Structure 1
């Protein structure tokens, strides 16, 4: 069993049609530790020691957030700037995160075709999330492809949300139970809702 922690960042969760329910899905899995960053740190006064202890205690780190300007909400950047210190997360003596797994679980405003070389953003989603991947690399972590709900603003009316929510729970359970093929998940551009091809042979979640 792997120890999984989900860090959630949404500045207006009461207005979130999809992110808050997705976070509730993570909360419903008893083996998972969940952290609502805006709730814990409304004044952005992040407890660095507490957060570093949380990271030490877990094997898999998930950042769940909407995609804001090709990145994450502000508190997630503040968290990274303060918590991922030299000597802890990187540098000669900074080995605390080595071997851990990291991924982004994101929601986007645009549909999938916007995230391509020929689409509106002229880049794939994984490429746009490159700073997270490079951070993981620097910290000796294994970065997995992002798990994304595209076109999140219309997911409910288009009856796509419940399938994605179910898939998120399936992904988190697979991570907890070491049932996800990490090599395949690391090589993919994005993780799909249909995760069967990413589960280890003979495993079901």
Structure 2
């Protein structure tokens, strides 16, 4: 896959007061082949349009779930979105293969420093461990779960660090080679052109 369409689902209850998620959202708005969809902006006071959301998913190759980490998970609207959009018979279960082969990226802003997310740290568990429900959900619907993007110290990070984070975020979520299968295919192709004699 040399051309990829990415859908960024921004899930922040108050994006205007956000420092990191707001900058991330602004940074990807001008990216080619990236669609930014703010769930709280669209669904704060109205029901989720399931058909629209499913069509958005079908039209993209990589889905990025961007949110601040709340109580070791996502804001509540994202859970509701999963419940309503990842329907039985469409996303999973008999005939539920519409998301098979699509890519999943989780992007989180996190208040505490990184060292607090480990065994023996203040929060005891790593972000990889805490995102297991997202990994399991991706597996259930046949999506490929790719490495997450996380920015720690969201409450104390400097404006300069936020700007740098936004640049890294864009590079991360738009990098085709984030998928290890793509990286491996490209590596093997390079090996074919190498004379090993």
TM-score norm. by structure 1 comes to 0.85
1:182 maps onto 2:183 in alignment: no
Matching residue of 1:82: 84
Counterpart pick for 1:26 among 16, 24, 28: 28
Secondary structure in 2 matching 1:61 = strand
Q: CA shift at 1:31, angstroms?
A: 1.4
Instruction: Report the CA distance shift for 1:77/1:181 in structure 2 as closer, same or farther (over 3 A).
Output: closer
Give 5+ residue unaligned stretches, structure 1: 186-196
Counterpart in the other structure of 1:194 = none
Once residues 8 and 72 of structure 1 are traced to their aligned partners in structure 2, the CA distance between those partners, rounded to angstroms, is: 11
1:5 aligns with 7
Structure 2 residue ranges without an equivalent (≥5): 191-197
Query: What is residue 169 of structure 2 aligned with on the other side?
Result: 168
Could you say which residue in structure 2 is the equivalent of 1:188? none
Name the SS of the counterpart of 1:90 in structure 2: coil
CA displacement at 1:28 relative to structure 2: 1.6
SS in 2 for 1:106: strand
Could you tell me which of 39, 60, 63 is aligned with 1:61?
63
RMSD, aligned α-carbons = 2.0
Q: Distance in 1 between matches of 2:76 and 2:43?
A: 12
Q: For 1:1-205, what aligned pairs fall within 5 Å after superposition?
A: 1-156=3-158, 159-174=160-175, 178=176, 180-183=177-180
SS in structure 1 of the partner of residue 92 of structure 2: coil
Counterpart for residue 190 of structure 1 = none
- Higher mean C-alpha deviation, range 79-88 or range 12-21: 12-21
Q: Do the aligned partners of residues 107 and 184 (structure 1) sit closer, same or farther apart at CA in structure 2, a change above 3 Å counting?
A: farther
Q: How much has 1:145 moved relative to structure 2?
A: 2.1
Give 4+ residue runs of structure 1 displaced > 4 Å after superposition: none
